[in-house]
Amino acid sequence: MNQPQEAIFKFENYRINKFSFSDPENEDQKINIAFNPSGLFIKEGSRFVVQFDFTTSGIEDGKQIISARMIASFKFNEAIELNNIPDYFYKNSIAIVFPYLRAFVSSLTVLANVKPMILPILNLGSLEKTLKENTTSIDVELTETTNGGIPAIE
């Protein structure tokens, strides 16, 4: 029987630093969901910051309903080079942070006293390639950070 292996990274924290919501005219309309992940590998400290841009829009009218940007920070257990980051990190980092965004959207729509938007459970494995392609690297920690010490990717 195979034993599970401990991951070589840990999830540090996250922030949702941009968010907008427009109450849809038709609360029962179906929505399109779009994701655009990107990453920043910080060699000093072996940290990885995932920026997760997320939007929803109505299928019928194309109007944007939600736009959000989540930034999440991960730390590798040991010093590592960008090209040695295992492929499973890219897939798992997205899977780790999405439930926080999903809960945030649900909570905010409930608190706004509109029909709650409960995002479906999604298989986001296809975003692994996009995250990997949209990852850049820097050698040293940035001095300007967002709340919680998470470097901004922009």
Torsion angle, alpha carbons of 35, 98, 17, 51, to 10: -60
Sheet with 47-58, strands from edge to edge, namely 9-21, 64-76, 47-58, 31-42, 135-138
Torsion angle, alpha carbons of 39, 146, 67, 110, to 10: 120
pLDDT digits (tens, 9 = 90+) for 45-74: 899 999 999 999 988 888 999 999 999 999
CB–CB of 65/57 below 8 Å? yes
pLDDT digits (tens, 9 = 90+) for 68-98: 999 999 999 999 999 999 989 999 999 999 9
Domains for the chain: give ranges and CATH numbers.
9-141 (3.10.420.10)
